Structure 1
């Protein structure tokens, strides 16, 4: 049986070594990158099941690395940092990270996050084929995991796409933020409602820039969000 592949991107040798020990003990194959440029290269050249990415690195920080990887890859990304500011967590999740772990951490917490991300990724990849959703200039292809506006591809992060799909598949339903967190990030996710809000904001901005003639996500005040087909309400 092939081992699951993990890429660790961190400019501190001792952190990379510690993560390697934790992961190898659980049967993972680990590759290391000592800076952001090397991490982006490896992520693009090879196939990984998970990427563990440090935020505070010289030259190219974790935010930029995450954004560059997300241009081509949907691999789950766990960001690791000593910074505890909630704004930093929201920023990481907004630009495409899937979870956020604050240093110092122990092996149990790390592996709980790792296995949770792998479970969610596996569920996402094995979803049964779904009907393509089309309305006016908008097309959502669940099986191909693509969003098209006017037949042009709009690049969404994995979580942005999953969130948009959940709303689009049940257009008459108003989802509470906690329901969306559970559906998209999982019941074991350590985050808050601002994660949903920031992803909705990103989706709206991306489809607007792509030329979509209506706002497809309606805010239901005091509740959450629902999908809408027209721009009658903003």
Structure 2
């Protein structure tokens, strides 16, 4: 019999931790829980897990500290649970240690997508086919030039509006990872009021339309994950 994937959830909220534990168990995973970072680290030292899901705002050793400690001793994939509004302040310090993150509150379908995607990347040793520096990203069929707000390929050239530029920057910061509509709305339009997720859908459509002028393959790098959000997939 194939061994179940083993997940450790580190979350100080007992109700949320147990709900997630029961949900993932129903989806066929073996799950253990820890109430704080200290307990979680001890469990990690003593046992082997295929995935860690850790809350950012833990008492004592917080989620960022857990990521840093884990990375010194193991290569276990990590998904961080981040409350809405915390992501801009914390992402830069967390990226070195985590494999993905998800904004709270999340829907179960989104969590399951991210868990499965993390396992898939770990199993296939997925590597993103992107060559990039601070000024540009080279894709198989196009080049994104950040300073010029321009995309070129196949002898064609398109330009981005400021919001399209910000949206694309955020998408490409997390290649091959699902980003929810709410997350993109908060990250790109956080200063604007009376907007909803349809704003994201409209902007994504405009980006795809512009990408399609380069090639169908370029346009297909932005994919829709039904009921969840979008993914910049290479």
TM-score tier by shorter-chain length is: 0.5 to 0.7
Once the two structures are overlaid, the 10-residue window that deviates more, 38-47 or 112-121, is 38-47
* Matching residue of 1:102: 103
Alpha-carbon offset, residue 83 of structure 1:
3.6
RMSD between superposed Cα atoms in Å: 3.0
* Matching residue of 1:175: 138
1:187 lines up with 2:150 in the alignment = no
Aligned mates of 1:70, 1:37 — CA distance in 2: 15
* Matching residue of 2:62: 61
How many aligned positions are there? 149
- 4+ residue stretches of structure 1 with deviation over 6 A? none
- Relative distance call for 1:118 and 1:36 in structure 2 (3 A) is same
* Matching residue of 2:43: 42
* Matching residue of 2:79: 78
Aligned mates of 1:59, 1:32 — CA distance in 2: 17
Q: Secondary structure at the match of 1:68?
A: helix
Q: Identify unmatched segments of 5+ residues in structure 2.
A: 132-136, 145-167, 185-234
* Matching residue of 2:202: none
Query: Is the contact made by 1:9 and 1:34 (CA closer than 8 Å) also made in structure 2?
Result: yes
* Matching residue of 2:52: 51
Aligned mates of 1:72, 1:120 — CA distance in 2: 20
TM-score, reference length from structure 2:
0.55
Alpha-carbon offset, residue 68 of structure 1:
0.5
Alpha-carbon offset, residue 119 of structure 1:
0.4
* Matching residue of 2:92: 91
**1:150-186 Cα shifts (integer Å, max 9, x gaps):** xxxxxxxxxxxx67x986xxxxxx73578xx87x965
Q: Identify unmatched segments of 5+ residues in structure 1.
A: 128-161, 168-173, 193-234
Query: Is the contact made by 2:67 and 2:94 (CA closer than 8 Å) also made in structure 1?
Result: no
Aligned mates of 1:77, 1:187 — CA distance in 2: 15
Aligned mates of 1:60, 1:118 — CA distance in 2: 26
Aligned mates of 1:18, 1:29 — CA distance in 2: 14
Q: Secondary structure at the match of 2:73?
A: coil
Aligned mates of 2:48, 2:95 — CA distance in 1: 23
